[in-house]
A = this chain, B = another copy of it.
C-alpha cells in the first residue's frame, strides 16, 4: 500500500495535502462540501492581533492561468479565532496550522503567544510575506535580518513549531531561507504570491483597489518549483510547498523539487473538491512514477 503519511515538526500528517492560508478561511465553507478529516492539515486564514477589515474592493482580478488578490488580511483577530474558529476545526481529525501575521514585531509576538492558549493548534505558519500589508509586512519578508528577527521573536513567544512562509519577491531566496533557518525556523512554507498588477482598461486604473495584488495559481508554479529546488539544497528543515498546485501530478512535481508536504490555494476556488480529489489520486500517481510513499519522492528531482 502506498504510504501518504509524512511526519514534520509538530505535524503528523496522514497525507501531505492541506488547503493554503487565505483560500479556505477557517474551513466552515468547505466543510459543507466534504469531511475535513480527509485533509492532512488545514492552514487557517492569517490571524492578526486585533480584527482587521482589510482592503477596499475589488480585491481580486483574474489573470492568465492565475489571479491577483489583495484581501489585506481581513480576519476577526487572534482571540476570536481561538475562541470560535479553532474549536470548529478541532472537531476534525486533521492538523491545524495557524497563519500568523502582523505589522510590527510586537504584533507578531502577541499573535504567536496567543496560540499558546489552545492545544488544538499544531504549528504556526509565520506570514512574513503578505504583500498586501503596508506597514512593514513587506520589509519583514524581503530583508534577511528582519526575517530572522521576527522568526526569533515568534520562536521565543511560542511553544509551537514555526514554519516561516517566504516571499518570492526577492533577489536571493536561498539567503532568506538560510537566515530564518539560522534564526530557529522549524520549517519553511513557500511560496507566497508574486506582486503583480492589472490595469482595467475601461476605468484606466489598476483593477485591484489596493493597486497591486499577489499573483497566485498555475502561472506561478515554475517560480515556486525553482525556488523550492534551490532552497532545498541549502537548508535542512522541511519545506511545505505551494504555488499553482491543482492536481496530483503537480504535487509530485513539488515533492521531487524538495517539498515534504504541499498546500493548495487558488485551485479550491475553481474546484471546491480539489484537495480530496488530489488525496484520492495521489497513490496511483506516486505508483505510476515508481514511488511507494510520499517520503520516497521528496527531493528526488534534485540533480
Contacts and interface: CB of A to CB of B under 8 A. Distances in A.
A303 B218 CA distance: 30
A169 B142 CA distance: 13
Residue in A63, A199, A213 whose Cβ sees the most chain B Cβ within 10 Å: A199
B195 A223 contact: yes
A126 interface: no
Given A199-B301, A206-B303, A222 B66 contact: yes
A39 interface: no
Contact of A219 (B198, B204, B206, B219): B219
Nearest to A229: B197
A130 B32 CA distance: 48
Interface string A254-272: 0011000000000000000
Given A170-B171, A205-B301, A301-B205, A221 B289 contact: no
B219 A64 contact: yes
Interface residues on A, range: 35 or more
Copies of this chain in its oligomeric complex: 2
A199 B297 CA distance: 12
A72 interface: no
B64 A226 contact: no
A287 B213 CA distance: 29
A79 interface: no
Contact of A197 (B68, B211, B222): B222
A201 B252 contact: yes
B221 A64 contact: yes
Contact of A65 (B64, B68, B212): B64
A68 B221 CA distance: 11
A223 B253 CA distance: 24
A254 to B, nearest CB: 9
Interface string A146-175: 000000000000000000000001111000
A12 interface: no
Nearest to A249: B201
Nearest to A288: B201
A244 interface: yes
Contacts of A205: 301, 303
A68 B222 contact: yes
B66 A196 contact: no
Nearest to A228: B197
Given A195-B226, A218-B219, A219-B219, 13 more contacts: A64-B221, A64-B244, A194-B223, A199-B253, A199-B256, A199-B257, A201-B253, A201-B256, A201-B289, A202-B289, A204-B256, A211-B303, A215-B223
Interface of A: 63-66, 68, 142, 169-172, 194-199, 201-202, 204-206, 211-213, 215, 217-223, 225-226, 229, 244, 249, 252-253, 256-257, 289, 300-301, 303
